Structure 1
């Protein structure tokens, strides 16, 4: 019997013994020898096995799309799996736990939360391959997601928020800041808003958040005032709420909105970084400080998990100072 045939026989015996521990290995070996005598067998090295990660990733993403994952999530998954395929050029059946750990260890200079995000994508991918019976085992199963350091969400104080407002130089900038703060929306939700989504009478708008879940958020009198001023000055027929200045007039992308906020940050010159997410946290934190019910805040923010909203239940320094002055009378 050739070396390659012996190797195949050993591999099959190991696999069957793993699945059926009570199998008679002697009878199995004899039967396998009878079967293999009818075939020519040759061992293929890891280098000879093709990298089928992109192919399997395409099938995985199609399945996730059918299950209702948002386009943004699918794009993130596709990007992460493409990077992994470049680093680990193997067939999925040959990928080991060591390969997963080696890939994550190669990601120098990134936060633990980013490593966790990349690992979560890989866990979803390989978990799906096992469920679909493409693989017998999940190489990510023994790899634990790194713990994230617990930090209070960054937010602006009332005074800092006013400085940001006063730092806006155009009608679009002011309307953008006011709508983002008033609604507490995510960046992508703001970018996808259309003029027709705004109900001026009820001072509300409909947004589609993570998982394509629809919810209503609300505009303050101040945000509605500045939004109307911005819309009244527009002379285009673009359907989106926030659009470019230069022609052709089109929807402001996520990156364009982020750049707009960075320009405002440069003028504001405060110690805290200003981003769309900071404005969302500011809405949440100032609402909590004002006494909003956390279940109401969960609905307004579009959190599927109540534990995410509970982060804002941590009392701010300002509230602790006010409580101390109110109750510490001696």
Structure 2
């Protein structure tokens, strides 16, 4: 079996049987493609069915000089999943990653912004341009609804249920959920729709897409990252800010103001409450005040 064929089968499995999105599939296969490039560069001719743990170990030693422990751990995990699939399909008897240890990692808490820093980010938007109105609506939606960047770019006009106070979001694995949307966020989306989007020359196939670029097509994930990075620079924020920073800030601020963790899980679209629990570790002083306020033996 050739690597190209194995990867093609793996992508099909992830799409059809696991129901993963195109972006997630790219992430799952990225590290396997890195291994394939390493084998080609070093003229190592071996199939995915025959590669041994010592070959994998040599690859890990090679990349250890180039990447940090967290990235190395992710690569090992990606390869382990791929070879587990080959074992599952009876292409191999064993997984060559079984004896490869991942580096020990401390738990990395997500970066967040304060409410004042988010206000500063929004204040840095140039509202004299059409893109400014759009960008304000984008920032307000990311922070106001806690969306992933792909969920924002995929948002459609037909997903907006403003009368009911919700938007329908398509998350990982094409799973859909309803997320509450505040009146303030609705206001900025409507301003963008009425004053900017309604005057655009929208390309065929993007008539229902909410946020568009200058050419009337769907915004890319990379463009959202660029918009936020520029705003962070213009606002003087001394932090690395990304769309996910706004999602983390959304969850953290809800928790700090007394929101239920299970409700936050549902709004974020986390499959497991364990993923959401990371926000519990973010503000221990807040948790201490909750204990002092509500526990019967305070």
Q: Matches of 1:324 and 1:158 in 2, distance apart?
A: 24
Task: For structure 1, list consecutive stretches of 5 or more residues without a partner in the other structure.
Answer: 1-50
Q: Does 1:99 align with 2:48?
A: no
Tell me the secondary structure at the aligned position of residue 80 of structure 1: helix
Moved runs in structure 1, 4+ residues, more than 4 A? 320-326
Once the two structures are superposed, residues 104-137 of structure 1 have per-residue CA deviations (whole angstroms, 9 ceiling, x without a partner) of 2222342322222222221111111112111122
Q: Which structure 2 residues correspond to residues 295-314 of structure 1 after superposition, within 5 A? A: 295-314=262-281
- Paired residue for 1:242? 211
Task: For structure 2, list consecutive stretches of 5 or more residues without a partner in the other structure.
Answer: 127-131, 294-298
Contact 1:54 1:81 in 2 (8 A): no
Contact 1:80 1:118 in 2 (8 A): yes
Q: Does 1:228 align with 2:197?
A: no
- One of 54, 72, 81 as aligned partner of 2:23: 72
Contact 1:207 1:214 in 2 (8 A): yes
RMSD over aligned Cα atoms:
2.2
- Paired residue for 1:47? none
Q: Does 1:265 align with 2:216?
A: no
Q: Matches of 1:83 and 1:315 in 2, distance apart?
A: 34
Post-superposition shift, 1:282? 0.3
Post-superposition shift, 1:275? 0.8
Contact 1:195 1:241 in 2 (8 A): yes
Q: Which structure 2 residues correspond to residues 1-330 of structure 1 after superposition, within 5 A? A: 52-67=2-17, 68-88=19-39, 89=44, 90-107=46-63, 108-169=65-126, 170-233=132-195, 234=197, 235-236=199-200, 237=202, 238-245=207-214, 247=215, 249-316=216-283, 319=286
Contact 2:109 2:282 in 1 (8 A): no
Tell me the secondary structure at the aligned position of residue 303 of structure 1: coil
Once the two structures are superposed, residues 214-253 of structure 1 have per-residue CA deviations (whole angstroms, 9 ceiling, x without a partner) of 11112212211111111111213432111102x3x10001
Contact 1:155 1:279 in 2 (8 A): yes
Contact 2:252 2:282 in 1 (8 A): no
Normalising by structure 1, we get a TM-score of: 0.78
- Paired residue for 1:5? none
Once the two structures are superposed, residues 55-97 of structure 1 have per-residue CA deviations (whole angstroms, 9 ceiling, x without a partner) of 2111122122221122112122333222211212421233111
Larger Rg, first or second structure (1 or 2): 1
Once the two structures are superposed, residues 3-53 of structure 1 have per-residue CA deviations (whole angstroms, 9 ceiling, x without a partner) of xxxxxxxxxxxxxxxxxxxxxxxxxxxxxxxxxxxxxxxxxxxxxxxx822
Tell me the secondary structure at the aligned position of residue 94 of structure 1: coil
Post-superposition shift, 1:303? 0.8
Q: Which has the higher contact order (CA 8 A, sep 6+)?
A: 2
Contact 1:54 1:85 in 2 (8 A): no
Q: Matches of 2:265 and 2:225 in 1, distance apart?
A: 24
Post-superposition shift, 1:213? 1.5
Q: Matches of 1:74 and 1:191 in 2, distance apart?
A: 18
